[in-house]
């Protein structure tokens, strides 16, 4: 009887279009693959550069573009490589990542350009067409498009009926 109740609960959850998973979910985000050779363009209302460590802080309406990917946030700290170029971008405040096929929102994001990884944290919401997923953490491998969502993962699937 208990197995039947569990099965009914699962089917009702799926039929209603919402399914929550506690742990982690792996998925493919091909739209978030980026060209590591593409230049990085940054727009902001204000730029502050530290003369001691060469780091930069972009504030206000920050938009970062690399290839087809766009990242916007309230604040972005940039860490540079000693040899030149960008090592890491740390974004916070209304973070939004957009590609031609997907979008993701979070409280903060760390984009490791050398390790080719993007981590979004805090109230993460991912949209892939009609499918929405939410979690505490989203990690994307920018070379493969592979991704893992962790911490109370919730998936909303279309019902397939109109």
CB 51 within 8 A of CB 63: no
Report the distance separating Cα 109 and Cα 28, nearest Å.
19
pLDDT above 70 covers what percent of the chain? Answer: 76
User: Phi-psi bin for 116: left (phi > 0), alpha (psi -120 to 50), beta?
Assistant: left
Q: Which tens digit of pLDDT belongs to each residue from 28-86? A: 555 555 566 778 899 999 999 987 877 899 999 999 888 888 999 999 999 988 887 88
Nearest to 112 by CA among 146, 78, 144, 138: 78
Report the distance separating Cα 26 and Cα 135, nearest Å.
12
Reported as type and span, the H/E element at residue 67 is: none
Give pTM, 2 decimals: 0.74
What pLDDT is attached to residue 90? 96
């Amino acid at each position: 009887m208990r197995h039947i109740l569990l099965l009914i609960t699962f089917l009702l959850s799926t039929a209603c279009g919402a399914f929550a998973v506690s742990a982690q979910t792996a998925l493919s985000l091909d739209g978030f693959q980026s060209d590591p050779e593409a230049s990085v363009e940054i727009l902001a209302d204000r730029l502050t550069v530290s003369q001691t460590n060469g780091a930069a802080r972009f504030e206000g309406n920050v938009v970062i573009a690399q290839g087809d990917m766009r990242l916007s946030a309230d604040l972005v700290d940039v860490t540079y490589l000693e040899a030149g170029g960008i090592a890491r971008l740390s974004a916070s405040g209304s973070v939004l990542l957009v590609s031609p096929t997907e979008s993701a929102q979070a409280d903060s994001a760390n984009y490791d350009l050398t390790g080719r990884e993007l981590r979004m944290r805090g109230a993460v919401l991912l949209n892939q067409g009609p499918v929405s997923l939410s979690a505490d953490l989203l990690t994307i491998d920018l070379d493969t498009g592979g991704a893992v969502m962790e911490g109370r993962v919730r998936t909303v699937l279309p019902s397939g009926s109109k």
